Every structure is written in structure tokens, then in C-alpha cells.
Amino acid sequence: MLNASHLLTNEALHSKKRTQTQRPKISVWFCRFGVWFRCLSVRFQKLCDNKDFVCKKSNFLPMAPWLAPIVREGTFDPTLIDAIYKKQNITIATAVFALGKYTQFLKDFLESAEQNYFVGFRVHYYVFTDLPELVPAVKLGEGRQLTVLTVASSNRWQEISLRRMERLEKLIESRLVNEADYVFSLDVDTKFYGRWGAETLGRLVGAIHPWFYKTHHDWFPYERRPESQAYIPYSEGDYYYGGAVIGGLPKDVYQLAKTCKERLDIDAAKSIEAAWQEESHLNKYFLYNKPSKLLSPEYLWDNIKSKPQEIKIIRFSQVNKNYYEVRPNP
Ligand SMILES: CC(=O)N[C@H]1[C@@H](OP(=O)(O)OP(=O)(O)OC[C@H]2O[C@@H](n3ccc(=O)[nH]c3=O)[C@H](O)[C@@H]2O)O[C@H](CO)[C@H](O)[C@@H]1O
Ligand SMILES: [Mn+2]
């Protein structure tokens, strides 16, 4: 005789059988997952091809589309390239600005430069500061010298940063045309961790910003207001360059600094300050005056970013800083 518990058990058994027969085999699940995954990856690829946000395998190519080399580990022979340039007995002028509390970065900058930056070459540092007494006495190698240039400070960090263009222009005009073969202007809140040598020399040199080397240009933090001289429309752009590294022949860097300074002045007269001050103007300049050589983010990293696999070596990097502590204004 069937009782209620039998009925329940049979029902349970029946439903178990049904689910067993209806559940697809594991291979079917794999197949479904494969189709789903493929759809997703095709969609993602389309997104990339549409250049909606990321793309940029091309940033890892050894050359820019206009055939300028992108310098990175493995693309040059350090011994050979240094030997070629050493025969030319060149002097590399290096402008660095340390105003206000940024003087605290000078010691590490200079000491690490002496270990890594154009070792064995003639290097002339030009240190701009409002506090000359705080320039540390760092022992310099043979053929290397340092000149302190006293300048007035400003109560805005943005102003201090952007006025580097004007000061660079004047420095090249008044001295470097006669004193140097190449010039670099570098951020001071930085440190060298690896070799930086003759492979970085060129007519006009920019460094790809470490935060945007995989970003599509529509997402670059270019200045987007047409009223600004630094304006770059969406759909234009090739790389986003960091304001921390500018280099090249004195006459080419002079032209860059002069142009950016003029455009900064035009903006200032209209009470406009570009999104990233002189860095925005630098990006505009490089868009229409392509650098002859690009430095990969090996030459401009940021210590708060961990090193990804594709970056083989970090040579020069922004050190961590407490913005509130070191800047004169927020
Ligand atoms: C890695 C990189 O590409 N950094 C750029 C970025 O922010 P950063 O955050 O790197 O700008 P920052 O605060 O380092 O200022 C740029 C430079 O100006 C000098 N300075 C600044 C403030 C001060 O009180 N005293 C002083 O000496 C110093 O040489 C410093 O290295 O954007 C800035 C403009 O917005 C500049 O283009 C920087 O080069
Ligand atoms: Mn900086």
C-alpha cells in the first residue's frame, strides 16, 4: 500500500531523474562558455578597434607612426651608442627647477643623476631656485658642473611649473646656444634608478607619460576648451607626453619653449589656464611638431605605479610626495 511518504519519495526520485536527464553534459557547458567568451572578446576587440577607450598595442611598437624611434630596453646598444657620442665631446645642459619646498628633492635628484645620467659625459646642471642656500653640495663627477640661478618664486604651484617654459627659453637664448650641444629640462621631484644615456639624444625629444601609454587619445587629458591655445579636439592626438621631460637640440627646445610661453601668455590674458598648465601646451606643440625621438615610460615612471611586465626597467621616476606638504597651494 502506498502511503504519503512513498508518494513523496517517488516524486522526489522522479524530479531527481528529470533534472539529471535535463542537465547538459559538462562538454556542452564548455561549449556554451566558449561561445559566450568569444562573443565577449569580439565585442571587446570591436570596442578597442572603435578606439573608444583603450587600444594601444602601437605604443609598444619600436617606432611612432612618423618613424621616430621609441626608446626602450632592447632597442639600442648602450656601449656602442655612448661610444659614438663620446667621440663628439658633447655637453648636455640639464635644467631643473626647485622652488620653495621642492628644494628637498634636489639631493636625491642630483645624487642619483651622478650615478645614472649620462655617466662619463659632460653634464652642466642649471638649478633654478628661490632658495640658493638650500641647494645641497653634491659631489659631481669629472666634467660635470652645476650652476645655481636664483629666481623669484610664486604662490601657485601651477605658475611655478608653467613658468619653466619662459625660463628655459631665456636660458637657451642667453647661454645654452653657446654652452651646450643638447638640453634637457626635467622635473625635480624625481630620481634616477637606471641608465639614462646617449640613446635619449635627438633633435626634439619627449617622454610618453606613464599613466597614459595604453590609453586611446580621445581619453588623454588634453586641453579640450577651444578658447585655450592648448586646445586639441577629440579625434586628434598620437601620444600623451609628460611635462617632466623635454629634450633636444638647444635651437629646437628653444622654439618649443618660446612657442609654449607665447601661448601661455595668450591664455593668461584671457584668464584661461590649460588643464595641465605647460604640459597641455607641450602636448599641443608635439602634436603639430612631432618629436624626432620618443622616450618610453621607462624614462618617466611614477613610483606610485607598480611595474608592469611590459616595462623592463624603470630608469627615471616621480617620487612619492605629499602634495599638501610640498606645494604652496592645493
Ligand atoms: C610626471 C609629469 O609629467 N609631471 C607633470 C605634471 O605634474 P607634477 O605633479 O609632476 O607637477 P610638480 O608638482 O612636480 O611640478 C612640476 C615641477 O615644477 C617645479 N615646482 C613645482 C612646484 C613647486 O612648489 N616648486 C617647484 O619647484 C618642480 O621642478 C616640479 O618638478 O604636470 C605639471 C603641470 O601641471 C608638470 O607638467 C609636470 O612636469
Ligand atoms: Mn613632478
* pLDDT digit string, tens, across residues 277-293: 999 999 999 999 999 99
Cβ of residue 267 lying under 6 Å from some atom of ligand 1: no
User: Is 49 among the domain residues?
Assistant: no
Residue 205, in any domain of the structure: yes
Among 43-52, 85-94, 251-260, where is mean pLDDT lowest?
Answer: 43-52
The reply to whether 52 falls in a domain is no
Q: Is the pLDDT of residue 263 over 50?
A: yes
Residue 89: how many other CB atoms lie within 10 Å = 10
> Does ligand 1 lie within 6 Å of residue 103's CB atom?
no
Flag whether pLDDT at 140 surpasses 70: yes
**Does any domain span residue 23?**
no
Of the pLDDT bands very low, low, confident and very high (cuts 50, 70, 90), residue 48 is: very low
Residues of the chain with pLDDT > 90, as a percent, come to 81
In terms of DSSP bridges, do strands 293-295 and 204-208 run parallel, antiparallel, or are they unpaired? parallel
For the CA of 276, the closest atom of ligand 1 is 35
Q: Per the domain annotation, does 51 fall within a domain?
A: no
| 55-to-121, 160, 168 alpha-carbon distances in Å | 39, 34, 35
Rounded to the nearest angstrom, the gap between the alpha carbon of residue 236 and the centroid of all alpha carbons in its chain is 19
**258 Cβ below 6 A of ligand 1:** no
In the predicted structure, residue 40 carries a pLDDT above the cut 60: no
322 in any annotated domain: yes
Measured distance CA(53)–CA(217) in Å, rounded: 8
Supply the pLDDT for residue 99.
98
SS (H, E, C) 276-301: CHHHHHHHHHHHHCCCCEEECHHHCE
Angle at 180 (CA atoms; ends 280, 89), nearest 5 degrees: 130
Number of domains in the chain: 1
Site to probe by mutation for ligand 1, drawn from 184, 187, 305 as the one with most ligand atoms within 8 Å of Cβ, is: 187
* Rounded Cα distance, 145 and 114, in Å: 11
Show which residues are catalytic. Answer: 279
Ligand 1 mean position to 244 CA, how many Å?
Answer: 7
**Summary mean pLDDT of the chain:** 88
* Residue 217 alpha carbon to ligand 2 centre in Å: 22
Tell whether pTM > 0.90: no
160 lines ligand 1 (CB under 6 A): yes
Q: What is the CATH number of the domain that holds 295?
A: 3.90.550.10
Q: Is the pLDDT assigned to residue 118 strictly greater than 90?
A: yes
Query: What range does the domain containing 263 cover?
Result: 58-326
The β-bridge partners of 117 are 196
Of 267, 281, 48, which is closest to residue 169 (Cα–Cα)?
281
Is residue 104 assigned to a domain? yes
Q: Decide if the complex's ipTM is over 0.95.
A: yes
Ligand 1, atom 29, lies closest to the CA of 97
197 within domain boundaries: yes
Nearest ligand to the CA atom of 221: 1
More confident: 201 or 25: 201
CA 86 to centroid of ligand 1, rounded, Å:
31
What mean pLDDT comes out for the span 11-28? 44
How many angstroms separate the alpha carbon of residue 329 from the centre of ligand 1? 13
Q: Is the CB of 278 under 6 A from ligand 1?
A: yes
> Residue 61 has what pLDDT?
80
**How many residues are there in the chain?**
330
